[in-house]
Amino acid sequence: MKKAFFFVFLAFAVVLAGCQPIAPTDTTEIDQLREQNQILTQLLLQGQEKIRDLQIEVNTLSTQVAQLTPKAALDGNLEGLATVILPLLQAKDYATLATFIHPQAGLRFSPQLFIYTNTDLVFTREQVANFVLDNAIHTWGTHAAKGDLLQLSVVDYWNEYVIPLMPDQQWQMLAEGQKSPSIAIDNFSDVYPQGSYVDFVKPGTEEFGNLDWQLLRLVFEQATDGAYYLVGIIHDNWVP
């Protein structure tokens, strides 16, 4: 019996001795978890601080928009108004651009000459002023040739469908009655029966047989104060 007890005790001692090295490993894992928890806590605090900073920026921009005096053409000089707006579009000066937007109708973006009122996006002047903080992906309509959804950020849409970077040419204002290069169906008068527009074009290059032309149409409507404001930005280009 004593001998059996001795062997049991010996076996227990061996097992206990074999388990001793596990303790430091457990301590190391606990330390690692504590370190990870501290890192996550720090990242969370930084994220919360960033959210607060962005909210302050949003509030500041909204206040600035509210304080900005709306700018419009009281004399109906839409060509002059369009000339002022064009560099704002090129500079992505959303806050100043917002002051030219129709206070009630907002601003519609149409990626092609044929206007789709059910899918073309409309933004208020406050939303446009805050475009600088807008990193969301919006669905702007469909591709004229492929039929795919145009899911782009504001900046990407701007560079392709508002102020296309290519071809590398200056925008030229079309004179009244001068025909644009587009052969697409134009339903402007159906959508904007009280509206007027000014067209800018990039004529395209000889390298591509001038098929790389771009059209920018700025649409204006009269508001209740009698002045004309921007209500639409329409893009068009050649599609196969």
DSSP 175-203: PTTPPPS--S---HHHH-TT-EEEEEEE-
182 in Cβ contact with 203 (< 8 Å) = no
pLDDT value for 53: 66
Query: Looking at the DSSP assignment, which residues form a beta bridge with residue 164?
Result: none
CA angle 160, 192, 77 (to 5 degrees): 80
Q: How far apart are CA 121 and CA 140, in angstroms?
A: 6
Within 10 Å of residue 100's Cβ, how many Cβ atoms?
Answer: 23
Query: Looking at the DSSP assignment, which residues form a beta bridge with residue 215?
Result: 201, 236
Q: H-helix or E-strand containing 17?
A: helix 2-19
Q: How far apart are CA 172 and CA 91, in angstroms?
A: 17
pLDDT value for 8: 39
pLDDT value for 137: 97
Does the pTM surpass 0.75? The reply is no
Question: Which stretches of the chain score pLDDT less than 70?
Answer: 1-26, 50-75
pLDDT value for 68: 54
Phi-psi region of 226 (alpha: psi -120 to 50; beta: other; left: phi over 0): left
pLDDT value for 107: 98
Asked whether the bond before 21 is cis by omega within 30 degrees of 0, the reply is no
pLDDT value for 51: 67
Task: List the one residue out of 185, 183, 232 whose CA is nearest residue 211.
Answer: 183
Q: How far apart are CA 204 and CA 201, in angstroms?
A: 9
pLDDT value for 72: 62
- Residue type present at position 84: V
DSSP state of 76: -
Residues 6+ apart with CB under 8 A from 112: 141, 144, 184, 234, 235, 236
Q: How far apart are CA 124 and CA 107, in angstroms?
A: 6
pLDDT value for 86: 98
